[in-house]
Amino acid sequence: MIDIDQFSIEELYVLNERIVERIKFLELAQAHVSMMAFNIGARVSFETAEGRQIGRLVKRNRKTVNVDTDDGRHWRIPPHLLTVVKEINDPPPVTKTRTAQNKKRRKKKKRR
């Protein structure tokens, strides 16, 4: 832990500037990580004073994302406030079935 009681006013100002810069950097990095969880065109939702809004992500900015809602409005939202909306008509994620995995194993055994 740093003992700041021995610092002069000038040293405290310099330390404060470095702390603020570090906080801004960490916030920007966290926003970037949150933003990468969403693809352009993804259906998302978020809460407002008017209730839940649902729309489509149209653009990523430095700290926010742009969302066009179903009612025609445009919002800039911090990505940590968004959730992905699962569409009923979305196809299920593609996964290999047990049968496909077994076929690959059989082919490998035959080659040996």
Question: What single letter denotes the amino acid at residue 2?
Answer: I
DSSP assigned state of 4: G
Give pLDDT, residue 56: 95
pLDDT tens track for 56-73: 999 998 888 999 999 999
CB atoms within 10 A of CB 28: 12
Instruction: For residues 28-48, give the mean pLDDT.
Output: 87
Does domain 4-91 fall under CATH 2.60.120.200? My reply is no
Q: How far apart are CA 43 and CA 52, in angstroms?
A: 13
Domain range annotation of the chain: 4-91
Closest CA to 41 of 57, 24, 54: 57
pTM of the model: 0.58
Q: What CA–CA distances, in Å, run from 79 to 3, 6, 44, 55?
A: 37, 41, 10, 13
Closest CA to 42 of 52, 55, 33, 31: 55
- pLDDT category at 30 given cuts 50, 70, 90 is confident
